[in-house]
Structure 1
Amino acid sequence: MKIALHARCRVIFDEFNATNINYKRMNHVTFEYIGTIYTPYQSLDNMPIQPSGAKDAQGYILINDEFVEGLKDMDGFSHITLIYHLNKVTGHQLSVVPYMDDKAHGVFATRSPKRPNAIGLSTVKLERVEGNKLFVREVDMLNETPLLDIKPFFRQADNRMDATSGWLEKKDQSIVFKTKSDDRFVD
């Protein structure tokens, strides 16, 4: 009886492994855009590389009608974090030379847009909400960028005073305020 049970478990295990192997090959995720981000930047060239370098840049977000109810109570937040699709970036690189250095680093140790999944993340200043329109400042994304999600910035949870910045610790941190993009990530 134990042998038969063991044999049956082996068959199930083999089927499970075969299923998982196929699943991994076909693994993908689909997102629905909840809106569109409008900014002054029409080209990937000469854009701010981070929101902190875009203090005066204004933009707005139009939320799709079916998601407007989700904006309830947003007006009390000074900042929001936007998760968006880098829809104009093509391909990815696992090793990149970032804007704040002249040597290559792994893409996951940088904020390069050339990522395996073209997802951007920026915390921007929320000026006001009017219906389905959010007026924002400190925008560092391309005009007509598809928005995937919004999260309120919560200073008690989102700040890490004991955080370290790896290879960036040795760099001049003020460079992020004045550095603009160049053609290194443009195809």
Structure 2
Amino acid sequence: MSETIAMRPIGIIHSPFTTLEGMPIQPGGAREVLGQVVLDADLAPALADVDGFSHVYLLYCFHQSTGFKTTVTPYLDDTPRGLFATRAPKRPNPIGLSVVEVVSVAGNVLTVRGIDVLDGTPLLDIKPYAPAFDAPAGPVRSGWLDGRKDAVAATRSDARFVTANEGAGRE
């Protein structure tokens, strides 16, 4: 498929993380970190009713990410894995996804908790987290991530975020 899809950022995500190195690798490692999502002013009405949700998905562009490899060694593992079995930021389409807690909405500014992205990250979309729709019924498998939940809070990014190292994982 060679079709190009054009998207434009709808806002900017602000966080305390001004460099890639040392950032949390998932929202679980940034549970108490506050950030702000500043939408384009003309989109402020789109935030109506967002404060009725406890959490939202932020979809964004890994704007500091270039290139990708089909196999990476993720942060929480020593085994090379297929790129699509990881959350590595170096992807064919560098799109990120985070579930964050809604703290407040004021005008075109959404304040969130649990932000794990670089300050200045371009926002592509916001979607409400709805457990009735989003939490699968029945048993859920986490593949190679099973048993690694506790390691997320203590794991931080390193040079793999900014180099062409084959271990450019985000787990």
TM-score calculated relative to the size of structure 1: 0.83
The two structures, once aligned, show a CA RMSD in angstroms of: 1.1
The equivalent position to 1:165 in structure 2, one of 137, 142, 145, is: 142
What's the CA shift for 1:156? 1.3
State the partner residue of 2:69.
Answer: 93
Identity %: 44
Q: Secondary structure at the match of 2:153?
A: helix
1:131-170 alignment runs, 5 A limit: 131-160=107-136, 162-169=139-146
Aligned letter for 1:165? S
Take 1:165 and 1:56, find their aligned partners in 2: how far apart are those partners?
Answer: 24
Q: Secondary structure at the match of 1:126?
A: strand
Take 1:155 and 1:77, find their aligned partners in 2: how far apart are those partners?
Answer: 11
Runs of 4+ residues deviating >3 angstroms: none
Q: Secondary structure at the match of 1:75?
A: helix
State the partner residue of 2:152.
Answer: 176
Q: Which runs of 5+ in 2 are unaligned?
A: 164-171
Matched, 1:79 2:67: no
Matched, 1:113 2:68: no
Take 2:40 and 2:135, find their aligned partners in 1: how far apart are those partners?
Answer: 30
The equivalent position to 1:57 in structure 2, one of 33, 41, 45, is: 33
What's the CA shift for 1:34? 0.8
> 1 or 2, which has the higher helix percentage?
1
Q: Which runs of 5+ in 1 are unaligned?
A: 1-23
The equivalent position to 1:35 in structure 2, one of 11, 14, 24, is: 11
Take 1:185 and 1:133, find their aligned partners in 2: how far apart are those partners?
Answer: 28
Q: Secondary structure at the match of 1:46?
A: coil
Take 1:157 and 1:121, find their aligned partners in 2: how far apart are those partners?
Answer: 17
Aligned letter for 1:95? T
State the partner residue of 1:45.
Answer: 21
Take 2:13 and 2:158, find their aligned partners in 1: how far apart are those partners?
Answer: 22
Aligned letter for 2:19? S
Take 1:35 and 1:185, find their aligned partners in 2: how far apart are those partners?
Answer: 23
What's the CA shift for 1:163? 1.4
